[in-house]
Structure 1
Amino acid sequence: MLGYTVRRLLQFVPILIGLVTVLFALLNILPGDPARMMAGPFANPDVVETIREEMGFDRPLWVQYMDNLWDLARGEFGRSYQSRRPILRDLLEVFPKTVQLALAAEVTSALIGIWLGIVAATRRNGWADRLIMTIAALNLSFPLFWLALMLQIVFAVFLRLLPPSGYGAGFDQFVILPAITLALPSLGLLARITRAALIEVLGEDYIRTARAKGLRDVLVIRRHVLPNALIPIVTTIGTDFVRLLGGIPIIEVIFAWPGIGKYAYDALVFRDLPALQASVIVLAVSVSLVNLAVDLLYAFINPRIRYV
């Protein structure tokens, strides 16, 4: 497994180089003068030219590209045009907040979604199954921005139970509305996947044997069905967590959640190229590491899976 992990980590290197190349090309195609944006719309032309020389914007593109690669290889992301602070310091502040929101949403969707999937599978074709699958389909149908606004109107404006936006200490009342907004579509998908996985396992001979021995349904589900249906469930949770780590910028903007998604959105609006590039790279690395962790988890769930 160690060799497999090392090979997967080495595969990240050409992927990151390709990503940096594409980002560099796209960001330099965008209209606008970054030196002018840093100096401000009413700055003196001499000031703008000084900034252009200090930041290296007057150098050939291939020189800027090679310097960019070298800086990234040393972990140097540069300074943000907006905050004028080192981008690494900004990322260390905003990325943990996105992780907090993603964990809150994923735990909520996993607990509720798996439970709903178990209920639907054990009552297949019954009224509970049909009701749960209908709710799951509806959850997957709502646009996230509409769902976020509706939750704000109902719980923050009408009922005044929760704050409409902002950030507190992380896992407090401020995280409830954005976490529910992100969790509702996820739990709908997870409920459907859990139901399908359990129905497939429930038809196996060893399940009928366990029931014939007199085991209660709760024990059958917990000891025999769930452990053998975990692979697709874990895959869905891992894939969904990767999606949530992307920050869902529109949700972070609506709820004023200071995560990496909102940070990247603000960087794009301001044309803060170094900050936008660093945000995308951090997200790409996070996605790759989460996918690797999910693959390695398969071997612990199912001992028959071996990585060489």
Structure 2
Amino acid sequence: MAHQRFTIPGAARRAGPLPQLCIERPATVLFSALAAASFVFMAAPGIDLAASRIFTDAAGAFHFDANPALLALRDLNRLLLPLAVGLLLAILAMHAARPEEGCSVPAHRVLFVLSVIASSGGILVPLLKAVTGRARPDAVAPFGGEAPFSAAWQLSGACARNCSFPSGEAASGASLLALIALLPARARVPALLVGVPFAMAVSLNRVAFGRHFLSDVVVAWLVTALAALLLHRFFAAHGRRIDAGVRGSAQRVRRRARRRVPRPEIAGLLFPRSPARL
């Protein structure tokens, strides 16, 4: 079967000049967007303060963190990630152990999604948090905290652990959009129309709670999108080889293990038992 890329049918034919550029040179567009957004937030850090101030009361305290609907939205997002990872691992296990059942989702696409989730939420975001040390909005002085406010990408050191920049939950929400690669081509546009607003709501929810600045969310999204694009290129280029390597791999490992274990009669000659003591 010919290898299929993760594309939306007819997208290039219907696109205008700017969407056409996004389709033909997506890495350039994403990197330019990340650089432009970063420059804006660094040059005008007041944007972050103004965006966060929308969700504060007259005393400067964040008052949406007790809203039941917003809390439910946060909890739903936190539940979706482990569920998605568990499902993806189960599909991989089926490819490895029971390839004869013919799972319709190729293994390389499953590994692509897992890699996006792991690279954004497990590597890039924690690394940036540790390097920048940006304090969260509800901990900085403009909103009643004690830590100094710092701009995006500024090496602050105001936060020691679990810092603000960029947003881990925004990255996880964006990374879950990679699940669309597992769907049939005709279902991807409807899934995007549902998934993107949900991921944006989850991300902005963290701004409303005073747990992240707007730049934390925007940078997390763009970093995740750029990582997803680079990973997509790798898995699209090596899809057949990856599928062949995963398919039936558990059975191959089991057969090799059986060949290495000596038969009972041979084991008795190689490893004779000591005579029982009288």
- Using the size of structure 2 for normalisation, the TM-score is 0.30
Structure (1/2) with the larger helix percentage: 1
- Using the size of structure 1 for normalisation, the TM-score is 0.27
Specify which structure has the bigger relative contact order, considering alpha-carbon pairs within 8 angstroms and separated by 6 or more residues: 2
